[in-house]
Amino acid sequence: MIGDWKSGSTPNRKNIDFYKNGTIPWLLTGDLNDGIIKNIPNKITKLAYTETSLKLNPKGSVCIAMYGATIGKLGILDFPATTNQACCVCSDFKGIGNLYLFYYLKQHKNIFIHQGFGGAQSNISKEKIISTLLPLPPLGEQKRIVSKIEELFEALDHIQSNLV
């Protein structure tokens, strides 16, 4: 296992005390931006956190959407946050860098979409994400791969900005 995988939940929407003046970030899959997540508009209260199964995911956690139109959408938390049940989160990494995992899952998005099942709203399960095989080079090589990916993205951004 490359890390600790979990999904979130949704506190009862009818209980206003779970949301009114909330201070704990609560990520919905619509907040995933395929990059670093620096802001989450939804918040829950401490009461919601203590009375539900929600867990606080640490900064640096990798999040992936499991349902509907957002399947495979990703994000890396820039601060601790909880998530709803449509989001699968990996933290406490073992032998893998969070950026390496992020980029691998990102390139795997179309496969996840194809694996989606269900009626009105297609979805993938946490188990499918966890059982996805991925090449796992040593951490030093992972860092070199991430560095090269980011160097190429930076070059592409530069090219695009000069096209305008």
pLDDT digits (tens, 9 = 90+) for 95-106: 999 999 999 999
How many CA atoms, within 13 angstroms, populate the side-chain half-sphere of residue 1?
9
Of the chain, the percentage scoring pLDDT greater than 90 comes to 84
pLDDT, averaged across the chain: 94
Nearest CA-CA partner of 25 in 73, 97, 104, 89:
89
Q: Find the largest Cα–Cα distance for the chain.
A: 53
> Identity (one letter) of the amino acid at 71?
I
The closest alpha carbon to 83, from 22, 16, 32, belongs to 32
- When pLDDT is averaged across residues 128-155 and rounded to a whole number, the result is 95
Using the predicted structure, report yes or no on whether residue 119 has a pLDDT greater than 80. Answer: no
The number of residues making up the chain comes to 164
| Short-list 96, 90, 133, 143, CA closest to 111 | 133
Question: Has this prediction a pTM greater than 0.85?
Answer: yes
Q: What percent of the chain has pLDDT over 70?
A: 98
Share of the chain residues as helix, strand and coil, in percent rounded to the nearest 5? 40, 20, 40
Residue 115 CB coordination number (10 Å) = 17
How far is Cα 26 from Cα 19, in angstroms, rounded to an integer? 10
